Amino acid sequence: MTEGNADELRKLVTPRDEGIIIRDSLPIYPSPKQAAVAHFLRRAATRDRSRTEDVYTDARVNVHPHIRHEVQALQHEGYDVAIVDTPPRHELSTQVQAAVDEEIAQLSKLPNCTDILFEPSLHPAGATWFRLAKYALALQTLYAAGTTTTLADGLDPSVFHEPIIDGLSSMERLRSRRGDQEAQSALDKYVAYASTPMSDHTDAFPSSRDFLVGVIDSRAVQTRADTAINMAREHMSSRPGHSAKRGVVTASLTCGAANPLFEMARSLDQGGTPISTILLIDSDEMALATAASLARSKGVEGRVILYHKDLFRHRLTSYIKPESVDVVDLLGLVDWLPDELRDRKTGLVRRRPIQRLLSDVGDIVRAGGMILVGNMLNRRPQQAFVERVWPSLFQRGVREMLSIIATAGFDPMTVQVRIPGREGVYAIYGIPVP
């Protein structure tokens, strides 16, 4: 190459100011997430639907045919199994509910469904909710989705610095377990969550509130709790002398934010069998602090005792007096438990953890009391959606759960099984302790 030619070439390849023009003229490729959001929003709009229609009152049974057959077969065999109608706590207008259902059906087909649904510019509150979706606080939002003004009304984050568990704050406990950095990052998430307003107006498609009210799983956790509360109330009122003087003692194992027990306290107080003591047990200190703050906002803090314990590391009777509890709630636990559990620290494998736990629970319950267990059914509506949004759960049929309960030492013929029929997502098992 001659010198002249080399100069010519250098002129061609040397970056000049105009280089920026070349870059700008290149097509801009959206990220897969941006493309997915844009594609989704270009679909025929469901967002123009009226928001002023009648409230959604669809009381139809939504239980999967397979589960319905199972229920009928079990009824024929003499088991106490029934599909019940428990209304959800919050409802949408018919049109908005239809829009949410349609969006969920469409989103469930997309692998990046959560990228779209929880895109912060579309659903700011939904995006913050999703960051804590694996934690109990996210359930609290679902319980209150229709009325809450922030994602966590009633939670005062200063509680995380209060000495609420054996003289230590939840932050001190978390720091000693996980180190300063992780504890601070958890605190930041909780503080941000508690101060995020529930957004009602987004241009893109139904708002965060619409989704958090309208998705079946939101209504299902509400009706799971309220069905369990009805079962406890009926059970206690059928034994008026049982707890008349001392008041009902309740315990929530894996309490999370403890909404079901606080609502149970309200319901039993009104029904004339008041709760005197609420024992809350959880391995997550931030969940316990959240429950303590919510107890205050509901005026029941004087009845609450907190235990920071892992159910599989500490026997219940080592900290709760045997035969001292009337109602035990185990909602939201067995969905996470496989048939074999490996301890993350020791590597030890625990076979049949549900059976062993239930049998331990039996030891703390007074004769005439009741254990309430919930489990997600193995056939249910919006299955594809829940698989995309939540980590995988252990879903079970009614017969399988009854057999687990039987191997824990309880008579399955005495167990009450109630399935809130509008959602067809959970079965609640009321195990009476003879």
Ligand X SMILES: C[S@@+](CC[C@H](N)C(=O)[O-])C[C@H]1O[C@@H](n2cnc3c(N)ncnc32)[C@H](O)[C@@H]1O
Binding site for ligand X (CB under 6 A): 136, 139, 252, 254-256, 259-260, 282-284, 287, 310-312, 331-333
Q: Element (H or E) spanning 330, and its range?
A: strand 325-330
Shortest CB 98 distance to ligand X, Å: 28
Shortest CB 139 distance to ligand X, Å: 5
Place of tokens 């199994």: 81
Distance CA 63, CA 146 (A): 24
Shortest CB 102 distance to ligand X, Å: 28
Nearer to ligand X, 96 or 137 (CB): 137
Nearer to ligand X, 81 or 261 (CB): 261
∠ Cα 171 172 174 (to 5°): 60
What's the gap between Cα 83 and its chain centre?
22
Shortest CB 283 distance to ligand X, Å: 4
Nearer to ligand X, 126 or 260 (CB): 260
Shortest CB 55 distance to ligand X, Å: 25
Nearer to ligand X, 169 or 202 (CB): 169
Shortest-Cβ-distance residue relative to ligand X: 256
Nearer to ligand X, 283 or 383 (CB): 283
Q: Calculate the dihedral angle through the C-alpha atoms of 93, 96, 101, 103, rounding to the nearest 10 degrees.
A: -170
Between helices 259-270 and 285-297, what is the axis angle to 10°?
A: 30
Nearer to ligand X, 19 or 338 (CB): 338
DSSP 8-state code for residue 197: B
DSSP 8-state code for residue 86: -
Q: Name the burial class of residue 292, with classes exposed (0-12), middle (13-18) and buried (19+) by CB atoms within 10 angstroms of its CB.
A: buried
∠ Cα 85 140 321 (to 5°): 90
Shortest CB 109 distance to ligand X, Å: 27
Distance CA 295, CA 259 (A): 9
